[in-house]
Structures are given as C-alpha cells and as structure tokens.
Chains A and B, each alone.
Chain A
Amino acid sequence: MKRMKKIFITALMTTALVGLAAQDADQILETVDKNMSSKNRIFESDMVIQGRRNSRTITSVSYSVGDKQSFTEYISPAREQGTKMLKLEDKLWIYSPSTDRIIQISGHMLRQSVMGSDLSYEDMMDDRKMTEVYSATVAGHEEIDGRDTYVLDLTAKVDDVAYHSQKIWVDTERYVPLKQEMFAKSGQLLKRTTLSNVQKIQGRWFPMNMVYKDMLKDGKGTEFRVNSAKFDQDIPDYIFTKAALKQ
C-alpha cells in the first residue's frame, strides 16, 4: 500500500512537472512572439549573399502587415534597383524594371532561391507566429556567445505548417531566439538560422543580424542585416496592391 502511494505521488509530480515545463515553454514562446511579431513593420536591410568566390549585398526596404501582406523594394545594387516584390496571402508577384513586367511566382519558381540567397520565395512567404503552430517543451539550457539560452523543442500542433519540428535557442533574459533549426518530418535538418546583434527597439528586443543557411545546400549561407526597424507604423493600404509594383 505504501509502495502504491509512493508510485502515485511520483507519477503526479512528474505529470505536474511536465505540464509546468510545457507551460513554461509555451510562455517563453509567447514572449518570443511578442518580441518578433508586430501589427506591422518597416525594415531597411542588407542581404549579404555569399557566392563561391565573392559576396554581394542587396539593400531593400520592406513593409509588412502581419503574415499576410508584404511589399519589398530593392534599392541597390544598380542591377537590382527598382525590383519590387509583393506578397498577398499565398501569392507572390515580382516586378522587374528592366522588363517593366509583373510576373507571378509559382510552382517550381517558388522553390528557387531569392536572388541566389539561401532563402527561397517559399521561405519568405511563411512567417506565422510560432505559438499558433507549435507546442514547445524545454529541452535544457545552453550558452550561445556568452548568453544563457533555453533550448526549446517545438513540434507542430497544426497540419499546415512548413516545418514539422524546430529547435530554438532563446535568450533567457531578452526572450529573443539566438539560433533556430528547422527539421523535415523525417527528422532531416533543413535550415539553420543564427541571430545576433540584439537591440532594443520601441520597447522590444530584436535581433538585427540573421544568418540563414540551407543545410541541404553547400555554401556559407545568407546574412540578413537589419539597418533600421520600425514597428506598428501607419502604412498606407495602396502599398500592398499590384499597382504599387509599377510605381
């Protein structure tokens, strides 16, 4: 009888601890989402694409509202200047000034890399809040660049998610991911993102440097440097129209 009682208490405590850990992990993820997501945002950024022999930097300004609308205009280099990209829901259009034409990106092309980077058009179209799609558990603690992090294992709780599971390293103090690994259903590591240069902008911590690496492809990855970030601004609606692409 005494033994049964002991087993019962241990089981109860384990369940409570697992529940607490899951709750903690979900709370961590929620705080991360608060930092990383916003009603809308305007970024001016440099994308550094590492080639085999050299690298090139593409500067752009992008306007986003939630995860459904996004408009990007490339400013430099001269070759890319004036190229614009519009994402509405699950559709993507690109305007190229050299041809003065708008083309819709579809099928195979969605899987191609954006301007030779490690990011595909598909990747750029998928940016839902993590709490909406993943349930998290704390797998432990690790130190990254001298900062203590929670290691969270994320597993999809909805069907329509790009990555079945993820592993993220979240700064225990600033609640910003410092590293992120995305896995296929088979467990194959697909992508790794390293985030750094965390700054406080409008009361939230935000990583200004991100390095994306397609783990299935050779290469050094693509660096994404945010030069300026503004959150919750007044962005006119016409920006997110196809007419704005030709303006």
Chain B
Amino acid sequence: MLSLKLAIKNLLGAGLRTWLNVIALSFAFVLIIFYNGMIDGWNRQSKRDTIDWESGKGQFWHPEYDRYDPYTIEDSHAPLSREILEEIEKKNLAPVLVSQATAYPQGRSIGVTIFGIDPKQTILKLPTATLPASNGTDYAIIGKSMAESANLSVGDNLLIRWRDKNGTFDAREIQIASIFKCDVPIVDKGKIYIAIETLQEMLGMENEATLLVTGEGFEFRELNGWVFKDNDFLLADMEKIIQSKKVSGSILQALLLIIALIAIFDTQVLSIFRRQKEIGTYIALGLTRAQVVGIFTVEGAAHSLLAILLGSAYGIPLFLWLNRTGIAMGYAEDMEFDLPLAEVIYPYYSIRLIIITVIIVIITATIVSYMPARKISKMKPTEALKGKLQ
C-alpha cells in the first residue's frame, strides 16, 4: 500500500512526463478495445445477416451437395417426401433447387447460379413474396450487386440459358420482378432467384430440391435421404475469415502498445538514473532492495492504471456513442470480398474483451517497469546515497 501511495505521488509529481506516457498508453488501450469491438460487432452482424438471408436455422443438404464444388450441383437433387411437403406447408422448411446457367444481359454472357425457391417461404429474408405467379412470363428477383454488374433494372427481361436434367440446352427470357439489397454477398453475386416450381419445370425435376432451409418452427429430427448442416458448420468459414482480420489488426495494436511501453521503459530508466539518492535513502531507511524494486515497478505499472482511467474517461462516452450510431462502412457495391458487410457496423464490447485488454495493459506495463528496476538490486547503498553513477 505504501509503495502504491509513493508510486502515485511520484507519478503525479513527475507532471507532463507522466501524462505523456499515460496518454500514449490510453490510446493503445482504447484502440485495442475499439478494433476488437468492431470486429466482434462485424462478426455478430454477419452471422445474423447470413442466418436471416441464407442459412436459416440450419440446412438439410442432398448428400451429394457441396456448396464449394460446382461439380456436385448437377447430381444434387432429390424428390420431396410427404413429410417434407407437410413441413413446407407449415413454413418450417423452405426447399431450394439449385442450377447453374448462363445469363445474357445486353449481349454479354455471364455465369450465374439459379436458385429455385418457394415464393411463399418466410424463413429467409429474401423478398420471394415479390415474385409474381408465372403467367406466361417467368419472374426473377436479384440482388443489387448482381443488378449493377449485369446492368439490370426492375421490369427488364434477361435471357438465360441452362441445361436440363439430361444436359439439353434450353433458353428463355425472365423478367426482373424486384431487386433486393442485402449485406451478404454470397446471396447476391451471380445469383438469380425464381419460383421453385418454375425451375423444377425448366430442369425437368418436378417436386425436387437440392437443399431445405429450416425455420424456427422446425422440430429437429433426421430426414431420410438428407444430411443436416447446422449453423456452426454453415458459418464456420465466415467466422474464421473475420477472426483472421482480428489477427492482422493485432499487429497494429501491438505496435501502438509497444510504442507506449517503450515510453514507460524509457521513463523508468531515467527515473532510476536520476533518483539514485532517493533509492539510497530508501535502503538507508531500512527498505530491502526488493521493496525498492517493488516501489519503482509499481510506479511504472501505475501508468497503466492511470491510462485505463484516462482511456475510460474518453473511451466510454466514445464507445457508447459508436454503439448508438454505428460505424458507417458504405454499401459494399463491388462486394470484392465475399464476406457479409453491413452498411453500418455496431461495435460489440464484451466484458471479456475489456477485462482481457485491461489485464494485457497492466501486465505489459508492469513487465517493462520491472525490467529497468532490477538494476536497483545491484546498487551499492552508500554509492547511491552519494548519487554516484553506477
């Protein structure tokens, strides 16, 4: 307690030098929490968006289906049993039929994936209800990114060519019924959504689907002939990529922390050099060398406590404000990276994140304070009292 009191007294007595160190360390402290909070917020939003737009509460896949292997799409379809049809009727399952095709917007050709989906489904946020019933014209909905890359607007006709279940080419025009805005690129880029019955008829795969998206009301059980993929599996890759961003960001945070710690280290070295008489006096008063090392270590480490207090003083209002307004990221027009990115990210600061950051800052500050203080244990008290260089 004595050493802490002494440390705080000495620190405050040092004036501007202390505050410069504290400000630098508080920046590192606030930045670490801000960056990790932003990544955690992004991760949470991405998961939520992907669940809402793509994965639902998990999916049943045809055993042959692999979303990363286009070879499997051709053979990944199976008839829907009575049990499944009943669940579809109750809106607990949304069947999706997948096929590859070529679209010809304005005389260009682009590879697309057609998703046949139940227009009445309510499990996914896809605005399938805007798909009009086929009346000689077939309708499709597409995402904003797809609409921009293919230069398509609502009401435009798009010629598509595909191969049916036998591999025979077929082609027809579909009309764009609506364009949706979605933060999940995988749902948007190169995707066309049409009524599942239309796609079943186009492919000659009546009453068949490639996968089934489960909704809230689905009571989990095995479905014969289908393999269940939970959200831990469906979202694993996305989470890994986002977490890897945390690692790359940690390099910047570490650099900032190191700069702040170097300043503390430098201050400690200077203190011990200039305050040899003080050290000699402590020892002469009966303090052991270890106690004196302790006083100086606590003094250095106290920088971190002040930094945390200062950081909290401006960080808490800043974080609360960011939490309310969010961080505008702009709409990922080109969606170059296939990760969900909302227009506004709301950072998420968990207690765990704050505690870990506090511990890191205190421990590292203590270590860099202790390292120069070790020199004290080698000092001769008589020489120190005289203030002689050692």
Chain B CB within 8 A of A190 CB: yes
- Give B191 Cβ to nearest chain A Cβ, in Å: 12
Cα A107 to Cα B190 with chains together (Å): 13
Chain B neighbourhood of A107, CB < 8 A: 70-71, 73, 100, 111
Report yes or no: B166 in contact with A108, Cβ–Cβ below 8 A: no
* Known contacts A106-B71, A216-B159, A217-B109, A186 near B171 by CB under 8 Å: yes
- Give A91 Cβ to nearest chain B Cβ, in Å: 9
A173-212 contacts to B (CB < 8 Å): 182, 184-186, 188, 190
- Give A181 Cβ to nearest chain B Cβ, in Å: 13
Chain A CB within 8 A of B104 CB: yes
Report yes or no: B170 in contact with A184, Cβ–Cβ below 8 A: yes
Indicate with 1 or 0, residue by residue over A158-186, a CB within 8 angstroms of chain B CB atoms: 01111110000000000000000010111
* Known contacts A106-B70, A216-B109, A111 near B168 by CB under 8 Å: no
- Contact residue among B70, B101, B104, B111 (Cβ-Cβ distance under 8 Å from A217): B104
Chain A residue with minimal CB distance to B74?
A: A107
Chain A neighbourhood of B163, CB < 8 A: 162
Chain B CB within 8 A of A42 CB: no
Report yes or no: B111 in contact with A186, Cβ–Cβ below 8 A: no
Report yes or no: A185 in contact with B164, Cβ–Cβ below 8 A: yes
- Contact residue among A160, A182, A185, A218 (Cβ-Cβ distance under 8 Å from B108): A218
Chain B CB within 8 A of A113 CB: yes
- Contact residue among B69, B73, B104, B166 (Cβ-Cβ distance under 8 Å from A216): B104
Report yes or no: A217 in contact with B168, Cβ–Cβ below 8 A: no
Chain A neighbourhood of B113, CB < 8 A: 108
Chain A neighbourhood of B170, CB < 8 A: 164, 184-186, 188
Could you say which of B69, B100, B102 has the most chain A C-beta atoms within 10 Å of its C-beta? B102
Chain B CB within 8 A of A154 CB: no
- Give B138 Cβ to nearest chain A Cβ, in Å: 11
Report yes or no: A162 in contact with B167, Cβ–Cβ below 8 A: yes
Indicate with 1 or 0, residue by residue over B97-115, a CB within 8 angstroms of chain A CB atoms: 0001110101111010100
Total interface residues in chain B, CB < 8 Å: 26
- Contact residue among B106, B111, B159 (Cβ-Cβ distance under 8 Å from A111): B111
Indicate with 1 or 0, residue by residue over B30-72, a CB within 8 angstroms of chain A CB atoms: 0000000000000000000000000000000000000001110
Chain A neighbourhood of B102, CB < 8 A: 111
Report yes or no: A161 in contact with B171, Cβ–Cβ below 8 A: no
Chain B CB within 8 A of A156 CB: yes
Report yes or no: A184 in contact with B70, Cβ–Cβ below 8 A: no
Total interface residues in chain A, CB < 8 Å: 25
- Give A28 Cβ to nearest chain B Cβ, in Å: 23
Cα A112 to Cα B102 with chains together (Å): 9
Chain A neighbourhood of B172, CB < 8 A: 184, 186, 188
Cα A184 to Cα B167 with chains together (Å): 11
Indicate with 1 or 0, residue by residue over B177-205, a CB within 8 angstroms of chain A CB atoms: 00000000000001000000000000000
Chain A neighbourhood of B190, CB < 8 A: 108
Chain B neighbourhood of A159, CB < 8 A: 166, 168
Chain B neighbourhood of A219, CB < 8 A: 107
Chain A CB within 8 A of B161 CB: yes
- Give A193 Cβ to nearest chain B Cβ, in Å: 15
Report yes or no: B166 in contact with A161, Cβ–Cβ below 8 A: yes
Report yes or no: B104 in contact with A184, Cβ–Cβ below 8 A: no
Chain B residue with minimal CB distance to A185?
A: B170
Cα A216 to Cα B109 with chains together (Å): 8
Chain B neighbourhood of A108, CB < 8 A: 70, 100, 111, 113, 190
Chain B neighbourhood of A218, CB < 8 A: 106-108
Cα A219 to Cα B109 with chains together (Å): 11
Chain B neighbourhood of A106, CB < 8 A: 69-71
Chain B CB within 8 A of A214 CB: yes
Cα A161 to Cα B100 with chains together (Å): 17
Chain B residue with minimal CB distance to A156?
A: B168
Cα A59 to Cα B292 with chains together (Å): 84
Chain A neighbourhood of B161, CB < 8 A: 184, 188, 190, 216
Could you say which of B70, B164, B168 has the most chain A C-beta atoms within 10 Å of its C-beta? B168
- Give A156 Cβ to nearest chain B Cβ, in Å: 7
Cα A161 to Cα B165 with chains together (Å): 11
Cα A192 to Cα B107 with chains together (Å): 16
Chain A CB within 8 A of B169 CB: yes
Q: Would you list 30 pairs from A and B whose C-beta atoms are within 8 A, ordered by A residue? A: A107-B70, A107-B100, A108-B100, A108-B111, A108-B113, A109-B111, A111-B100, A111-B102, A111-B109, A112-B111, A113-B109, A159-B166, A160-B166, A161-B167, A161-B168, A162-B163, A162-B167, A163-B169, A184-B169, A184-B171, A185-B169, A186-B171, A186-B172, A188-B172, A190-B161, A216-B107, A216-B159, A216-B161, A216-B171, A218-B108
Contact residues of B with A, CB < 8 Å? 69-71, 73, 100-102, 104, 106-109, 111, 113, 159, 161, 163-164, 166-172, 190
Known A108-B113, A186-B172, A217-B104; 13 more pairs at CB < 8 Å: A107-B111, A108-B190, A111-B100, A111-B109, A159-B168, A161-B167, A161-B168, A164-B169, A164-B170, A182-B169, A214-B109, A216-B104, A216-B171
